[in-house]
Amino acid sequence: MPDSVSHESVSFLVFSDDWGRHPSSCQHLFRQLLPRYRTFWVNTIGMRRPRFDLATLRRGLEKLLHWTRRTPADAALPDNLHVSNPRMWPWFSTSFDRRLNRFLLARHFRRLARPLGAPPIVVTTIPIVADLISVFPEWRWVYYCVDDFGTWPGVDQRAMQRMEERLVRECHRLIAVSETLRDKLARRGRHAELLTHGVDLSHWTQTDGPPLPELLHLPRPLIVFWGVVDRRMDVAWVKQLAAELTEGTVVLVGPKADPEPALLQTPRVVYVPPLPYEALPGLAHEAAVLVMPYAELPVTRAMQPLKLKEYLATGKPAVVRDLPANCEWADCLDMVSSGDDFVATVRERLRTGLPDSQRTARIRLGAEGWDAKARLFERWVLAQPAAIP
């Protein structure tokens, strides 16, 4: 592909979380790019190891429905976006598992790519497609590294590590969302561009929505977390906060992914199932303090929480663990390193609200819009890739 390409000649093939299931960074970027590029979005089965539980059953039924019904009409999707749901085998641990998935996906993509005038640019945020690079070497492959999946709870970590190692070796360009992830890729001998997450300021400053029925019965004030509720959470911190509150509720909003049972059995802690993206500004409006009580783990030290800048954009106090991704914004929020400090700081912010110094520091969010992030992403993925070492 030449250095200078017209928009009409470029198509993207994207492997990421299911389109519309939750607003990931990859979806935010491509919403900016869709007016200029035809994009084929591939919903996969994900990376979590199947378990004999209700969550896996629900996810399995959801995928079966995707495979057996027709893809939603393009009119229901943004212009230039096409979504497909290839059949896949839900394991990746053995060579048989990987060969079977390579066969199933390759068959699907040969059909998908047949009408394209030129090889697509492939963007993947997940390691499970690594074996396809050798099947389609003429395609340009971009690894958009958003997490350290080799340390994620609930996945086959060894399998994810092996497949990511292959992605890192063979992809033409690497883009990482955090310094920690970029350093990890550098230790494997590859340079990655750094693209931290953006934020849609206009979305998060909306406050005119109706009250959320899920919150009406909850004692105030509300201390709110939104995101995946899983074993990355520091259960001890949440329990200590709940125990030392004299009033109010700790609210955890989002999909459950095998969290510690004790987390949701704690008095004053209430779990609310995922809310639509459009409802989250209303959730923030009703919160007194926003929190990110993540545990100190390899997976949390590597991640770049999408919610960080969203929290800051709401104008509400934010109390977070002192993880690397949060350090750049330390003047805009409160970073803590112990359960005692977490509880004391939340209680202080319940009393004082957002300090003027933090409010002023958040002005620089204006340079963090998804449109600016998408322009950087676009420039890097369209540039002629350097030779793979």
Q: Encode pLDDT of 132-165 as tens digits.
A: 999 999 999 999 999 998 888 878 888 989 999 9
The Cα 90–Cα 231 span in angstroms is 22
Task: Look up residue 52 and give its amino acid.
Answer: F
pLDDT for the residue 19: 92
pTM of the model: 0.90
Cα–Cα distance, 280 to 289 (Å, whole number):
14
- The number of helix segments (H) and strand segments (E) in the chain equals 14, 15
DSSP string across 184-196: HHHHTT---EE--
Would you state the pLDDT for residue 90? 83
The per-residue pLDDT for 44 is 83
Q: Which structural domains are found in the chain, ordered by start?
A: 7-198+370-382 (3.40.50.11010), 201-367 (3.40.50.2000)
Cβ-proximal residues to 327 (8 Å cutoff; 6+ apart), any chain: 335
pLDDT of 145 reads 97
For residues 131 and 101, is the Cβ–Cβ distance under 8 A? Answer: yes
User: What gap in Å lies between CA 96 and CA 101, rounded to an integer?
Assistant: 9
- Distance CA(163)–CA(148), nearest Å, equals 12
What pLDDT is recorded for position 209? 76
Burial 153-177 (b: 16+ CB within 10 A, else e): eebbbebbebbbebbbeebbbbbbb
What does the pLDDT look like over 270-289, one tens digit per residue? 999 999 999 999 999 999 99
DSSP string of 12-74, one letter each residue? EEEEESPTTTS--HHHHHHHHHTTTSEEEEEE---SBPP-SSHHHHHHHHHHHHHHHSPPPPG
Which residues in the chain come in under a pLDDT of 70? 1-8, 45-75, 386-387
Please tell me the predicted confidence (pLDDT) of residue 304. Answer: 92
Q: How high is the pLDDT of residue 4?
A: 43
